[in-house]
Amino acid sequence: MIHLRSIDIRPAARELDGFPFALPVVRKFKEIKFRSPVTFLVGENGSGKSTVLEALAAGVGSVVVGGEDVRADKTLGHARALAAQLKLTWSKRTHRGFFLRAEDFFNFTRRVNQTSAELEEMAGEFEREGLKGYALRLAQGVVRGQRRALANRYGEDADARSHGESFLQLFQSRFVPGGLYLLDEPEAPLSPQRQLALLAMLKGMAGQDAQFVVATHSPILMALPGADILSFDRAPVRRVRYEEVEHVALTRDFLNNPEAFLRHL
């Protein structure tokens, strides 16, 4: 299902100075219509795709996985400024979903481990405070139940798995039907095999009324059948076919003839 139908920018925003309003993608912004449950934002670093995705996260009030609240995160000040100038059109507003930047994931695993340790410490504190019998069992049961729920969802040690395994576990645990998911370069910690696993998750969740907007450099993810691809390489943003994406063409040319590239090193 397509929950978020389109984003546009208020005309006055094109006249504002400074970052991010001076970016060509903002100066020449034209309405972006979402036609598929999965939309990929592609382009070189600095093209503005992550900036627009962050502004979108601020505009919809997404939960930020691993980072600070989108309204308080100092690194998202520019995103909030741009979000204030966005016009969002919904077919059905959803409050499910989240925003995830690859770099925030490591904060997330630390937070899970810290919360688990604090819950276990709290269980011991009840006994030291003199609780006994039924009252002690009840109090410890509540906090240890919360700790078990964390362990069941993310494992006993969120750092014990490889980054790629933990990333996929996070998605498996947090993707729910009917959500809007904004993902910034989710392929960063994933091997090609695990990128295929994520691709399968996207396809499966799209069939359960979830919508995804994903900024990526991965030709593997971009290959998802039926997905829309929006290129930020030239302003305004334009819809492109898979074969037209520069990353796809460059990767294919390199794999077909690596020596032609390596001889120039």
Residue 159 domain flag: no
Residue 201 domain flag: yes
Least confident of 34-38, 64-68, 80-84, 236-240: 64-68
Same structural domain for residues 39 and 120? no
Phi then psi dihedrals of residue 239, to 5 deg: -80, 135
Q: What DSSP letter does each residue of the chain carry, written as one string?
A: --SEEEEEE-GGGGG--STTTTSHHHHT--PEEP-SSEEEEE--TTSSHHHHHHHHHHHHTPPBSSS--TTT-GGGHHHHHHHTTEEEEESS----EEEEEGGGHHHHHHHHHHHHHHHHHHHHHHHHTT--HHHHHHHHHHHHHHHHHHHHHH-S-TTTS-HHHHHHHHHHHH--TT-EEEEESTTTT--HHHHHHHHHHHHHHHTTT-EEEEE---HHHHT-TT-EEEE-SSSSPEE--GGG-HHHHHHHHHHH-HHHHHTT-
Same structural domain for residues 11 and 124? no
Residue 227, both tokens: 């997905």
Query: Which range marks the domain in which residue 40 is found?
Result: 4-105+164-262
Residue pLDDT, tens place only, 154-192: 555 544 444 557 778 888 888 999 999 999 999 988 889
Quick one: what percent of the chain has pLDDT higher than 90?
Answer: 51
Same structural domain for residues 139 and 168? no
Same structural domain for residues 37 and 85? yes
Residue 97 domain flag: yes
Instruction: Give the count of domains, the chain.
Output: 2
pLDDT score of 142 more than 70 = no
Q: What is the pLDDT of residue 111?
A: 56
Residue 141 domain flag: yes
Residue 260, both tokens: 């032609």
pLDDT score of 24 more than 80 = yes
pTM of this structure: 0.79
Bond preceding residue 11 cis, omega within 30 of 0:
no
Same structural domain for residues 77 and 126? no
Domain containing 65 — which CATH number? 3.40.50
Same structural domain for residues 224 and 177? yes
Residue 226 domain flag: yes
Burial class (CB in 10 A: 0-12, 13-18, 19+), 15: exposed
Same structural domain for residues 193 and 114? no
Residue 126 domain flag: yes
Same structural domain for residues 80 and 182? yes
Question: Residue 10 CB: number of other CB atoms within 10 A?
Answer: 12
Confidence of residue 211 (pLDDT cuts 50, 70, 90): very high
pLDDT score of 195 more than 80 = yes
